[in-house]
Structure 1
């Protein structure tokens, strides 16, 4: 794989420290209650796996694939569920885990979606927040890092399916 990384934003060590901090915040909020952790595929998979190893609560791990991009770099504005969770969330605590939030479109949709399915409490955890790109109002409950408006890659985040396996978070020119 030809790596065309223009810069590094966060090291592997910085990410690991932030993941531990987020896990502690999540534990403090939920107390000893069970959590349905919903990993948004594919980008949040690496972050989610590291995060759940740090959370002491009993969890149900679920995966959901949602798309508003396809193979494009700009959102289509329409959220499509490609793969839904396999269990009922009715009456349960749901923690949506996302890699990066920009427009907020997907997460606004997912909060309404899980609310409509009867979830008792719905919280959002994101490793990265690109707040300057926000077009939809959505509350992020647990945020790792704020990032500038760059094309972010690494630690599960891709550019045309490349760079997910990088142990750090960097950026490429788009």
Structure 2
């Protein structure tokens, strides 16, 4: 018996999005909740909150997305669909990438693409070729706790540092 075919979440983007953070594919908790980074131990909302100077983690999910967009940061995943048991990237089978060709049209101000972890980071070259600045970030996933929050934050800051250099 094969793993179920799973479909990812819709992009959270706006025409003025300047930074896009791409994960690999939502974990089981995120798919069940239909929310990006829904696992309570995932550090994503704390990391991005620290970047923008707001307690995004403390907000209800419905309030997080507009605040993220207000800071011109978008969210999506490199994969639109895949087969997977559980939540680990290593268990992904038959991946289907999202259609990124439309990003130039949907987000004409997009400058920087951050990849949340090594699995999504495999797509960095494709985005560099399309003219975007890229940053491969240490994963915010609870499965990747080798680095402390502070160590992760030091790398995640490159997202906004690259953006500041572009302005």
Same fold per superposition (TM over 0.5): no
Higher helix share: 2
TM score, norm. by length of structure 2:
0.39
Higher RCO, 1 vs 2 (CA within 8 Å, ≥6 residues apart): 2
TM score, norm. by length of structure 1:
0.38
